[in-house]
Amino acid sequence: MKLPRALQLSPVWTPYVLLSPFVVLFCIFGLFPLAFSLYLAFQTWEPTSGLTAMSFVGLDNFVFSLQDEWFWKSLKNTAWLAVASGVPQHLVAIPLAVFIHNSFVRSRNAVVGAYFLPYITSTVAIAILFSSLFSTDFGLVNAGLRALFGGEPIDWLGRPENIKPAIAMIVFWRYVGFNVVLYLAALQTIPKDLYEAATMDGAGRLQQFFFITLPSLKPMIYFGVTLSVIGGLQLFEEPFILTGGRGGSDQSGMTTAIYLYRMAFDFNDFGAASAMSWLLFFVVVVLTWLTNRAFKPRGGSA
């Protein structure tokens, strides 16, 4: 059946029409919020008065944010969590990937799948599961610790000094599998003859690891670390759910992302919240650039 002429698409327009769902959705859910938050960062706004109630305040929101103790506190929390959950991810993922690469042949995919599973599980489900694991009186974590070491049960999510380690453990557990998959993919591209030559020259397994595997993995390390830096700085869901959306006792689980969310939706200050989100963006850019400087292969020698 042929469509009526009026409904036929000319080949000139076809690509645009077929692209339009993405472009439209991106503009609505990607570009517009970005532009709007940049605009809001320079306004003061009582949201329930409607959109007309904004008034321009220049850099006030940025000045306020930079002087705000809680903003700095949240940045420190974020940095702590990013390091404590990010560094072990890679320190564990690289040897683990090498181990899986060398030791599993037929069951490799199943093993990798097991490590990857947390990554594709809903964060909400994970956080709820872990809040019951970390429960002071009935949680498995405390039960295990008591069986091993005895002593008093630890109030994981109630006391400020315990919240961060608890969150870092979850984030580590969640993303280590993702990194293993990255490194496994990179390991498969390292030519086997390099190892054969090294073996001929009498290099041990440890030497092969440090002088062949690790340098060959560098581009992937750069990629993985960049993702960890960006993800770590934007950490939101896990601490948000574990601390009931409040950031925990003494705000010790309050990452910058949680704080700026609360600034807007709990404390009604959309202007400062937008300013903080752009400051956070700036931090992400700087740290990504530093990561680039540290890891990126230079002079096309990759």
Minimum distance of another protein from residue 268's CB (angstroms) = 7
- 43 membership: H or E segment, kind and range: strand 43-44
Binding residues for another protein (CB under 8 A) = 5-10, 12-13, 17, 20, 24, 44, 46-51, 53, 64, 67-70, 158-160, 246, 249-251, 265-269, 272
How far, in Å, are 4, 108, 139, 174 from residue 122 at the CA level? 46, 24, 21, 10
Cβ proximity to another protein, 227 vs 276, nearer residue:
276
Cβ proximity to another protein, 49 vs 188, nearer residue:
49
Cβ proximity to another protein, 34 vs 302, nearer residue:
34
Minimum distance of another protein from residue 47's CB (angstroms) = 4
Contact 77/171 with Cβ under 8 angstroms?
Answer: no
Minimum distance of another protein from residue 46's CB (angstroms) = 4
How far, in Å, are 138, 139, 158, 254 from residue 135 at the CA level? 6, 4, 9, 19
Cβ proximity to another protein, 24 vs 302, nearer residue:
24
Strand 43-44 versus strand 55-56 pairing type:
antiparallel
Angle at which helices 69-103 and 108-120 pack, to 10 degrees? 170
- 55 membership: H or E segment, kind and range: strand 55-56
- Give, rounded to a whole angstrom, the gap between the first and last alpha carbons of the chain: 55
Minimum distance of another protein from residue 164's CB (angstroms) = 15
Minimum distance of another protein from residue 66's CB (angstroms) = 12
Cβ proximity to another protein, 8 vs 122, nearer residue:
8
